[in-house]
Structure 1
Amino acid sequence: MNSKLSLSILLAIGICSGAGGLLADEEFDPQPVIEGRQSALRDIGAAFKGITDELKKTAPSLPTIRQYARQIDDLTRQQRFWFPAGTGPESEIETAAKPEIWQQPAQFQAAQTAFAEQAGKLAKVAAGDDIGAIKAQWRALGQTCKKCHESFRAEDD
């Protein structure tokens, strides 16, 4: 899925999340919200892999790395809308999202904030020409991903 479509989906999620009180009389369908967040998370993973692939090359493409870093940074700005109430286990839709996301909201929000901070740092570092600094920040972002996944994402079968 391209980033423009993902951002459109995320904007719709944000609008729906913000309008939650207005929609109280209507039944909430968690499916599009869950699908939107899964799409956005896949886009983040694909962009991270794109950076990984570039950094393995003897001459990485800085414009490509910058594009992927900006995409990750842009998507992380929307992540606070991706896990509203009603999109957890109670939705009975199978996802890799652990119940701890909704049971430990302060810890999850802290993990999201840490991820967004590291993504922003990567975008800033990638704007420069220092491949070593980009690699170091890419590793820091990867560690933040790993730490969140360990606490809030179920293992793949």
Structure 2
Amino acid sequence: MSAEALENLRKEVEQAAEGLVFISESDSRVVFVAAPEARVEEVMPAAVVKWLSAQHDGRTDVLFQDEPLPRLAARAVEVKEADTFLHNREQILEPDEPESVEAARKWSLIREALEQNLQELRVIRFGEPHPRYDTVEGQVSIFVVGRTQDGALAGILTCAVET
């Protein structure tokens, strides 16, 4: 993917994510992340830590409470299907509320942009290890990332608080 194509993806995702709120126990923004210099063969947690930590660690503009995000390298990790995650966001939960309809539309635009431009789209979640299950909880950093044909990483970052 050329630098121009990656920039177009960024603009498309940022436009769709404008005003979008990821709702959990603590709401957060949806932001675009990319590592054009990466050359990964497979989208794995280690690649996200290596190439995207600098765009995550200490960041204060994702959670609405302005809390800095912790170091990814110190967190437990879980990998999920991007298709299921994005499909769930596209559902209109309250058809009579314009905000719900608009949020679903924005998630559809984000999904379309990511799927058209990236391969191996995955959800990689970083948080505290759950005591009984092979999942993460607490303040969770959620990356929906994939790779370009030339191995660059790109996608979105948001957060959830799950207790």
Structure 2 length as normaliser, TM-score?
0.25
Question: Which protein is richer in strand relative to its size?
Answer: 2
Question: Which protein is richer in helix relative to its size?
Answer: 1
For the pair shown, the structure with the greater C-alpha radius of gyration is 1
> Which structure is richer in relative contact order (CA contacts within 8 A, separation 6 or more)?
2
Structure 1 length as normaliser, TM-score?
0.25
